[in-house]
Amino acid sequence: MADATTHPGDAPLLVVEDLATHFAIDAGLVRAVDGVSFELYPGQTLGIVGESGSGKTVLARTIMRLNLGGNVRTSGSVRFSNQSLLDLPISDMTKIWGREIAMVFQDPMTSLNPVVKIGRQVTEHVRKHFGISKAEARNLAIELLQSVRIPEAEARFDSFPHELSGGMRQRVSIAIALACNPKLLFADEPTTALDVTVQHQILNLLGMQQQERDMAMVLVTHDLGVVAGRTDEIIVMYAGKIVEQATTSEIFHRTSHPYTEALLRSIPKIDQPSHTRLAAIAGRPPDLADSLEGCSFSPRCPYAQERCFEEEPELEALATDHLSACWYPVGTPENQEAWEKNLLAGRPSTLAIANGQIVDDVSVHLPSGTS
């Protein structure tokens, strides 16, 4: 399958092709990641967006080959710097982990070892990968802590994680990830566990470091607001599959997949009056152990027609930089028709959105301070 964006003259850093990660459990086969393909170029930022359970974290971990357990089955291919990661023995992966590909985890409260000093945690892998001395490691650690804007970096070298705030700890995690100057950084929900006020600082820090180091980054998040303006390209995942893939501005300005649209609708907007009801997505993500017929979003989709329940749409190019998997893409006359049909038929997930809009309209006219 063709990549959605074109990059003349540059070799891709990461090529993922038809990647699938299935977990064999008692209830059946869980298709956590099911046929995902994309390319990532050096220095580029990719956003992977989806709800909990959409498979985005498993996708990131499959690419990195991290901790998936014994009941996992992986197929497809992952090429990173011309190495086939899925075929490498784990002993070779330990040479890539931390050095070429690094990861920032979601929760800085649990991803740092509580009984190991910050300084050691920031540099132990640098010492392992590059064999630098203790004194060099100390200098490097202080330099790194300064570069992620940790005040009194020198004093922090001997601190333990519990002595730092959540935001500071995430800065430490970022320093750890950056320590070996990796070519690719996975940031798995790096701001989800943090205060809103800190989220922006951390995202800005990540962006700044990425530019300075000319590093490619995969930003995994459930929040389209997080990736807005920070990524070159966005992949929207649902039930283990890519449902929409496009450049960031395309995703926001020419949203095609109903699921992407629903995600966008659920972001609170600053220009909405307070107490506006958030547009939640009706229903819940499908149980991945059940084999589904048709489009996996169809049960929750406001536009779903008969065809959606029977036939699964392929990921197809709408434009050169835009792939989408939908029979009735948003913004097309067919989509408008489907919407009206569902509204007339009284389809609950359609009515929910229609009603939500009515509630919003009413709340605009309420005098402020009530409700």
Partner 1 sequence: MGKILAARLARLVATLFAVSLLTFLLVEQLPGDPVTALLPPEALHDLETMERIRTELRLDDPALVRYGRWVTDALQGDLGKSYITDQRVADAIRDRIPVTMELALLATVIAAVLAIPIGAFSAYREGGRFDRVMSGFTTASLSIPAFVAAIFFIWLFTLKFNWLPSTGWNRITDKGLLANLKTAILPASALALAPLAINARLIRADMIGTLKEDYILSARAKGLRSRYILMRHALRPSSLTAITIFGLQFGALIGGTVVIETIFALPGLGTRLISGIYQRDVTMIQGITLFVATVYVVVNLLVDLLYLLLDPRIRRQ
Determine if 125 is a binding residue for partner 1 (CB under 8 A): yes
Which of these segments, 155-163, 206-214, 285-293, 294-302, binds partner 1 (CB under 8 A)?
155-163
In the complex with partner 1, the residue whose CB is nearer, 173 or 248, is 173
Query: Residue 113 Cβ, how far from partner 1 at the closest point, in Å?
Result: 4
98 binds partner 1 per the rule CB under 8 A: yes
233-238 and 241-247: which strand pairing?
antiparallel
- The single residue among 46, 48, 102, 338 that binds partner 1, judged by CB under 8 A, is 102
Please tell me the distance from the alpha carbon of residue 33 to that of residue 146, in angstroms, as a whole number. 38
Consecutive H or E run containing 225: helix 224-227
Q: What are the DSSP calls for 196-210, one per residue?
A: HHHHHHHHHHHHHHH
Euclidean distance between CA atoms 20 and 63, whole angstroms? 10
Contact window for partner 1 (CB under 8 A) among 100-108, 243-251, 282-290, 299-307? 100-108
Q: How far is CA 243 from CA 58, 259, 306, 321, 335, in A?
A: 16, 8, 19, 14, 16
Q: Is 133 in the site for partner 1 (CB under 8 A)?
A: no
Q: Contact with partner 1 (CB under 8 A): which of 95, 200, 275, 284?
A: 95
Residue 192 contacts partner 1 per CB under 8 A: no
Dig out the tokens for 120 from the structure: 């050691």
Contact 317, 325 (CB under 8 A): no
Q: Give the residue with the Cβ less far from partner 1, 128 or 265.
A: 128
Size of the site for partner 1 (CB under 8 A): 30
Position among 24, 27, 71, 162 found at the interface with partner 1 (CB under 8 A) = 162
What is the spatial distance between Cα 63 and Cα 211, in angstroms, rounded to a whole number?
A: 23
Shortest distance, position 192 Cβ to partner 1, whole Å: 13
The minimum distance between CB 60 and partner 1, in angstroms, equals 10
Using CB atoms within 10 Å of the CB of residue 183, give its burial: 0 to 12 exposed, 13 to 18 middle, 19+ buried.
buried
Listing DSSP states for 244-311 in one string gives EEEEHHHHHHS--SHHHHHHHHTS--TTSPTTPPP-PPSS-PPPTTSPPPS-TTGGG-TT--HHHHHS
Q: Interface with partner 1 includes 166 (CB under 8 A)?
A: no
Stretch of 60-68, 241-249, 343-351, 356-364 lying at the interface with partner 1 (CB under 8 A): 60-68
157 binds partner 1 (CB under 8 A): no
Min CB(79)–partner 1 separation in Å = 19
Does the protein bind partner 1 through residue 83 (CB under 8 A)? Answer: no
Q: State yes or no: residue 99 binds partner 1 (CB under 8 A).
A: yes
How far, in Å, CA of 244 to CA of 251, rounded? Answer: 8
Least distance from partner 1 to the Cβ atom of residue 88, Å: 13
Euclidean distance between CA atoms 345 and 65, whole angstroms? 47
Contact in structure between 233 and 247 (CB atoms under 8 Å)? yes
Q: Is 128 in the site for partner 1 (CB under 8 A)?
A: yes
Are 324 and 316 a contacting pair, CB within 8 Å? Answer: yes
Residue 163 vs 311, nearer CB to partner 1: 163
Does position 107 interact with partner 1 (CB under 8 A)? The reply is yes
What is the torsional sign of CA 210, 181, 173, 93? positive
- Scanning 22-30, 107-115, 145-153, 195-203 for contacts with partner 1 by CB under 8 A, the matching segment is 107-115
By CB under 8 A, tell whether 115 contacts partner 1. Answer: yes
Residue 215, interface with partner 1 (CB under 8 A)?
Answer: no
The dihedral built from the CA positions of residue 34, 44, 121 and 146, taken in this order, carries a sign that is negative
Determine the distance from the C-alpha atom of residue 216 to the mean position of all C-alpha atoms in its chain, rounded to a whole number: 14
Choosing from 9, 89, 114, 369, the residue that interacts with partner 1 (CB under 8 A) is 114
Asked if 110 is part of the footprint of partner 1 (rule: CB under 8 A), the reply reads: yes
**Interface with partner 1 (CB under 8 A):** 64, 66-67, 93-99, 102-103, 105, 107, 110-116, 124-125, 128-129, 160, 162-163, 173, 176
